[in-house]
Amino acid sequence: MAQLINYGIIGCGMMGQEHLRNIALLPYTKVAAIFEPDAQMAKIAKGFAPEAQMCGSIAELLAVEALDCLVIVSPNFRHLEQLEEIGATRALPILVEKPLFTDPSAFARVRKFYDTYPSPVWVAMEYRYMPPIAALRAEVEEVTGGINMLTIREHRFPFLEKVGDWNRFNAKSGGTFVEKCCHFFDLMRLLTKSEPVRIMASAGQNVNHLDEVYDGAPSDIIDNGYVIVDFENGTRAMLELCMFADGSRYQEEVSVVGPKGKIEALVPGPGRFWPAHLGDAPIPQLIVSPRNPSGPQVREIRVDPTLLDAGDHNGSTFYQHEGFLALVRGERDMAEVTFEDGMKAVAMGMAAQQSAATGQSVDWAAFMASGLE
């Protein structure tokens, strides 16, 4: 029989609850301790993990001797300080939600943690594990004959309400290109197998949250934009983001083209937001379009309904947790999404936001040299 793995959970808001639901699906696992400072969220979390010890601080949680690993799902601006506290107290394997950090001036702290933390850290990049995107990853080289162009489009609903409204501000969320789009910059690096050379962006706040004021401060997060990334190997990638496209049939569309053909993954948004009067929610698709013989081949990529019910990310959170659990058990040598991956995804988002703010393209090497490496 496999060893029981005991989890400590830091943060149990909307995404934290998704992690709790997915851990519950893993065999021989238990949530042993939870730290959630918001009383309402803590009560909900206790319902998911009734045997868990509810802790009043991270220090109290880390003192729970039975813990084998940690999952950090707190507000974005807390991630780095919590990583540092864990590093100074008890270095357990960590699954930490993106983004790793939100403050461009914090890179020295990020690098210090990375260089000194002795246990594995897996950065949560759920989009890698969405079944249609996983299917695209498995076939992309064969179908395209080598990637020349990569386009990622996300048309979705506005940011949801969070405890303390932290996701309405760049300073706490990292900004939309960091908070939301680090997923897509991670996919760009993963698919192209290359590093950026130049990043260009145009973005704005045109529809969402325009009349929202919190403690006298207006919301300042962008709700739409374009980002173009040139990579070292000559590949071009583009992100198109719109956060006031609630009526879209598919939320994410990933398109990759090369000399032999094109492959696309179409991913619907959370099923709980699909209008009931339209019937069943859309099924994810993989579309393969070779040049010779030409013509699209459409495949449905069905996802286990149990996994769909466990979260808002097309079943990906469960598959991510399977990998992290294997890491904790010693069944794999390293995290599949490394600390370096998480750090560079954030850096690309910050470079995109700088480009959008200044109207100038950002040289990646110079940007990194200014403080990221």
List pLDDT tens digits, range 181-193.
999 999 999 999 9
Residue 46: inside a domain = yes
Q: How many CB atoms lie within 10 A of CB 246?
A: 14
Q: What is the pTM of this model?
A: 0.96
User: Cα dihedral sign for 287, 178, 270, 244?
Assistant: negative
Tell me the pairing of strands 5-10 and 69-72: parallel
Are 155 and 218 in the same domain? Answer: yes
Domain boundary among 72, 102, 125: 125
pLDDT for 140-176, tens place per residue?
999 999 999 999 999 999 999 888 888 898 889 999 9
Are 178 and 265 in the same domain? Answer: yes
Per-residue pLDDT, 372: 52
pLDDT for 216-235, tens place per residue?
899 999 999 999 999 999 99
> For residue 364, what are the domain limits?
127-312+336-368
Are 131 and 223 in the same domain? Answer: yes
pLDDT for 201-217, tens place per residue?
999 999 999 999 998 89
Residue 243: inside a domain = yes
Whether the ω angle into residue 99 lies within 30 degrees of 0, i.e. cis, is yes
Domain boundary among 125, 156, 176: 125
User: For 270-284, what is the mean pLDDT?
Assistant: 93
CA distances from 48 to 17, 20, 41, 165 (A): 8, 7, 11, 24
Residue linked to tokens 């459409």: 298
Are 207 and 108 in the same domain? Answer: no
How far apart, in Å, do the first and last CA atoms of the chain sit? 44
Backbone angles phi, psi at 49, to 5 degrees: -135, 75
Per-residue pLDDT, 323: 98
10 Å CB burial of residue 5 (0-12, 13-18, 19+) is buried
Are 352 and 238 in the same domain? Answer: yes
d(CA 220, CA 227): 19
Backbone angles phi, psi at 5, to 5 degrees: -105, 125
Residue 61: inside a domain = yes
Are 120 and 149 in the same domain? Answer: no
Under 8 Å between Cβ of 166 and 99: no
Q: What CATH number has the domain bearing residue 219?
A: 3.30.360.10
Are 20 and 137 in the same domain? Answer: no
Residue 317: inside a domain = no
Are 84 and 135 in the same domain? Answer: no
Q: What CATH number has the domain bearing residue 14?
A: 3.40.50.720
Are 73 and 211 in the same domain? Answer: no
Whether the ω angle into residue 293 lies within 30 degrees of 0, i.e. cis, is yes
Q: Which residues contact 356 (CB under 8 A, 6 or more apart)?
A: 177, 201, 202, 203, 204, 222, 225
Domain boundary among 125, 153, 181: 125
pLDDT for 41-94, tens place per residue?
999 999 999 999 999 999 999 999 999 999 999 999 999 999 999 999 999 999
Are 25 and 88 in the same domain? Answer: yes
